[in-house]
Chains A and B, each alone.
Chain A
C-alpha cells in the first residue's frame, strides 16, 4: 500500500547515447520507499546513485521503467507538471550547497516559499525564522552564503529544502564536503526534521555511518553494460 509520499521506482534504467556507443548510467533498478520513512542509497562511484535521485526528482526521465510518488507517476508527467511536483512536494539537498550566492540565508530559504506559493505567504518571515532557529542558524539569517562556514551553508540548504514542508526529501551526499562533526550535525538535523514532517527521505551517501542514521539502506552496483561499454570503448 502506498501513502501520499511513498516512492515506487520500477525497473528504472538510464542509457546515454545511441547505438553502438550506448553508455548505461543506471542498471535496471526497482525501489520502494514507504511514505514517511528514510532510505540511504549506497554504492560505488558511477553506479548511478545521483542519476537515480535525479529520476526520483523528475529532473531527468528514465530510458526505461517508471517512478511514482504517491499517486503521481512522475516519469509520465510532462515538464510543467514535474516542475509543479518539485515546487510543491519536493525538497532537495546537494553535496554542494547550491545556495544562490547573492541571496542571504533567509532569502534563499524564503525564495523556496515564494516559488512554492507564487509569492511569499503571510507569516513567511516567522516561518523562515523558526526553521532557521530550528537548524541553529537563526542568527546568520542575513548573511550571504560566502560569509558562512561549510556546515552553516549546508544547514541553510536544509532549511531551504524543508521550508515548504515537502512530502519527499532527496539528498545527494549532503555531508560529502563537511568534516565529521559538521556532517553528523547536519544529518541528524535532516533526519530529525524529516521525521517531524513525516516526509520520505532518500539520501545518497558513501558513508555507512551516515547511512546508519536512516531507516534502511539499499546498495546499487556499477552498471554492467556501462562498464562493458567503457571497456569496449
Chain B
C-alpha cells in the first residue's frame, strides 16, 4: 500500500522526482566514471610504459676472456649400489680456448649415502696425497682441488672411487661436479655443453613462448685511435659492434643511410666515415687490442647517434646514461666471434693492458608485447615468468637484465598511485553529489511538508512516514544510480576512447561498476534520507517553518573552525616531517614515484573548510547588516531584498556554501590542470634545454659552425645558441685531485636568453650574472657544486682543464672558477662544467657545436609548431639535422606519473562538476521559489508588480551565485595549490602554480548563466501559481 502510494507520488510529480534524482545520477555517474577511467587508463599503461623501451630484456653472456673450459663427468656404474658397494668417477677437464686457464679448480661432491674412498683420487693417474677426506671438497671451507694452469687445447683426467654407506641409487646426478678458474671464478657445471655460440643461444631464446625475437649483440671498446682508412686515423675512442640484419631491422634507432650489413665487411658510423674519408667499397683497418689489425671492406654507412640499444650504459646504477661514441664500426656476429673476441682473449691473456673492459656479449630480446596483459601489474608477472624461461635456456653464469619487468614494476607502482590519486580527485565530486542530494532532499522535504501534514491528519504515524521516505529514497537512488552508471561509463569512454575501456579487465570493470554504484547509492541515498527524516521530525515536533531563520548545524557545531585547526595542524605536521617532498621515479631503477597520497586529504579539508568559512563570513556579514525595524520601509524592491538577506542570512549562506564548493572544485581543477600541464612542459623544456634542440646529423655533408646560429633563426624562432657538449669530454684537475667531466661550452651572451635558467640555482648570484662573468672573462669556468666538492675546489680557484681529451689535439688550459651551479637545462646526464664557446673553439681544432638550442617566439604549442615547420622548410642551409622539441621530450616521458592522462580525469571531473553547478543553482532557485511561493503570492495580492517579484528572486539568486563564486574562487585557488604541492614529486622542477583566468571564468560564468536561466524560468512559474489556493492554505 505504502509502496503504491510512493510510486504514484513519484510518477505524478515528475519534475520533483527528476530534480531529486539528478543529484543521485550525477553522483553515481561521477563515482563510476572515475573508476571506469582508472580501469581504462590502467589498461593502456602497459603499452604506454613499454613503448619507449629499446630492449625488453638483455641476456648478458659472462664467458670470460682468456679461457674456455669444459668438463665431463662419467660414473663407472649406474643403478642400485648396495651398502659397502663401490663405483668410480671420472672427470675430464679440457681448455678449448686459445689461452691458458690459471688456477683451474675442481669441486666434486657426492650425494647422501655416498662418500669418497680416502686416497682413491688421482690426476692423470698420479695419486693425490696429503688430503684424508674428499680432495675435491675438503676442509671447513669445502675447498676444491686446484689443478694449476691448463694450456690451450690440453686436458686433465681426474678419477676417484665412491663407496655407499647405505643402499643408494646411482646415476649422473649422484655426484655434483663443477670447475672454475682465475679468469672465470663463477663455477661451471660438469657435462654442461661447451660455450654456446651467441647465435645459437639467440635461436634457443627466440623459441621461448612469448619471445618475439632474440638477436645477438656484441660490444667492445677498441681504445683510442683504432680506426684507420685512406691513410687517416680517426681520433678519439672507437667502439666495435656486432649484430645481424634482424637486429638492425628491429631497432629503428639504427639508421643505415647507405649500403648494408654484410657477413665479411663493416658498416661505419657516419662520423667515422667522414673522419676517415671512406665510402662503401673502401677498406677500413681496425686495430684490435692484441695489436693485430683486420681490414674490412666498408659495406655501409650508418647514423648511430640515436641508437639507445647500442650506446646505453651497461654499468649497473648508470643504465639510463647514453654514452655515445662517434667513431664506431659494425661487423657481423661471425666476424666478432672469429676475429674480434679471440683478439681480446689474447690481449687479456698477454696482459698487454689494452683491455680495460672485456667485450659485452648479449642476446637482446624483444617480447611479444601484444600478448602482455593490459594491466601493468599482471603484465609484470607475465614478463617475470618469461624472464625465468629465458634464464632457464641460458647458462647458469649468464645474467638477465630484465628492462621490461623493471619498467612494468614502475608502471604498476605508478598505476597504483594513480588509482589512489584519481580516487582522491574523484572524492570531491562524490561529496558534492551527496551535498546536492541532501540539498535537493531538503527542497523535496519542503515540497512534501503539506502532504505529510495531511497524512498525519489521516492517521499516519512517524514510522509510516519514515517507511515511505525510505521507499521513496530507495526508488530515487536506484533509478538514479542505474542512469549514473551508464552515464559514467559513456563519459569515461568518450574521454579515454572506447578501445581503452574495451581493453580493460572485465572483472575490474565489473568491480568498478559495483563499487561506484553502491558507493554513490549509499552516499546520495543516505544524504537524501537523512534530510527527509530531519524534515519529518521537525514537522512532527511542531516547529513552524522557521528553519530559514535558524543558524545551520555546521555553524552551531563550529565545523568550519574545527576544519581550520585540522588543516593548520595537518599542514604543519606535513611540512615539518617533509611529507610533501616525496621522491621522483626511475624506470631504470625500477622505482615508482613516491607520492604521499594521504596528503591529498589536506586539499579536501581545505575545500570543505574554506567553503564553510566562506559561508560563515557571508552569513556574518549579511547578519551584521540586520536592518532595524522601521515602518518607513522605503522602495519595495531594495527594501525587500535588504530585509530578506539581512534577516535570513543563513539561507543565502547555505546556498553560497554549495556554490562555493562547486566553483572551488572547478577552480581547483582548472588551476591544477594548468599547473600540471605547464609543469610537464617546463620539465620537458628543461630536459631539452630550450624549446627546440637542433642536432646536426652525423650524415650531414655540411658541418655547422658557431656562426651558423643565424641559419636557425627562421620564422617563429626568437633566438638560437650553439652548444658543445659530450660525456667525459674533459679532465678537470684541481690542486687536490682530477676527474673526467662533462663540459659544456656555450655562448654566454645568447645561452641565458635561450635556455630556461629559471630552474637552475647558482651559488652566490643569479644565472645571468654568472654568464655575464663567463662572457667578460675568457679564463672563467662555471663548475657544478658536486664536481667542485669532488675536486675540493671553490670559487676563485684555478682548474687545469684538458680539452679534446684523448685525441691528438688534446690541450690543457688553465681556467678559474667564477661560479658554482646546481644544474643546468639541456644536459640530462648532468653538465659538470661550463665555459665560453669562444675559448673552447680557440683552444681545440673542432669548430663544430654538438647541437644548437632555440627558443620560440611564442610559448604555446602553435608557436612551437610554426618554428619547427619553418626550421624544416627554411633552415637546411645545405645540411641535415635532427629536431627535438619539448613536445617530443614530453611524448617520450615514461619515467613517472607525469605521463598519465590526468587531464582526461580532470575533464571528467569538470564535466560532472559543472553539470552539478547548473543543477545546484537550478535547485536553489526552484527551492527558493518553493519555500517562498506564499510570500511571492502575498506580495502579488498586495499589488507588487510581477516584474518586481522577478527582480527580487533574481537578486537573491544572484547574490548566492556571486558570493558563492567569489568564495569558491578563493577556496579553489588555495585547494589547487595544495594539490599541486602534493604532486610536486612528479616533476623535475618545482611546479609553478598557475590559475587560468579563462578556466575559472568559464566555471563562474556557467554558474551565473545557470542563475539567470533558472531565475527566468522560476519567475515564469511564479506567475503561473494559483494564488487563491496558496493564500488560503495553512
Contact = CB atoms under 8 A, between A and B. Distances in A.
A206 to B, nearest CB: 13
Interface string B412-451: 0000000000000000000000000000000000000000
A111 B639 contact: yes
B1032 A107 contact: no
A54 interface: yes
Q: How large is the interface on B (under 10, 10 to 19, 20 to 34, 35 or more residues)?
A: 35 or more
Given A60-B1027, A86-B941, A109-B631, A114 B639 contact: yes
B941 A102 contact: no
B1032 A59 contact: no
B639 A100 contact: no
A84 interface: yes
Given A107-B631, A109-B631, A114-B633, A83 B639 contact: no
B946 interface: yes
A84 B942 CA distance: 9
Interface in A189-217: none
B636 interface: yes
A173 B1032 CA distance: 9
A87 B942 contact: yes
A106 B631 contact: yes
A88 B1028 CA distance: 19
B1032 A96 contact: yes
B737 interface: no
Interface stretch (A4-12, A62-70, A118-126, A225-233): A118-126
A114 B934 CA distance: 19
Contacts of B643: 102-103, 107
A94 B943 contact: no
Contact of A83 (B634, B640, B943): B943
Interface string B997-1034: 00000000000000000000000000000111101111
A115 B1034 contact: no
Given A106-B631, A107-B631, A111-B636, A79 B946 contact: yes
B1028 A102 contact: no
A57 to B, nearest CB: 7
A54 B1028 contact: yes
A114 B1027 contact: no
Nearest to A52: B1028
Contacts of B545: 101
A74 interface: no
Given A59-B1027, A102-B647, A114-B635, A107 B938 contact: no
A96 B544 CA distance: 13
Contact of A90 (B546, B647, B943, B1032): B943
Contacts of A83: 940, 943-946
B398 interface: no
A146 interface: yes
Nearest to A123: B632
A146 B631 contact: no
A115 B942 CA distance: 8
Contacts of A57: 941
Interface string A140-163: 011010100000000000001000
A172 interface: yes
A182 interface: no
B632 A60 contact: no
Contacts of B1034: 95-96, 177
Interface in B939-957: 939-946
B631 A125 contact: yes
B111 interface: no
A206 B636 CA distance: 35
A155 B546 CA distance: 21
A35 interface: no
A100 B943 CA distance: 14
B544 A54 contact: no
Given A102-B643, A102-B647, A129 B1028 contact: no
Contacts of A23: none
Contacts of B640: 100, 111
Contacts of B644: 102
17 contacts: A57-B941, A60-B1026, A83-B943, A94-B1032, A96-B1032, A96-B1033, A98-B934, A98-B938, A100-B640, A107-B631, A109-B631, A111-B633, A114-B634, A119-B634, A120-B631, A141-B629, A146-B544
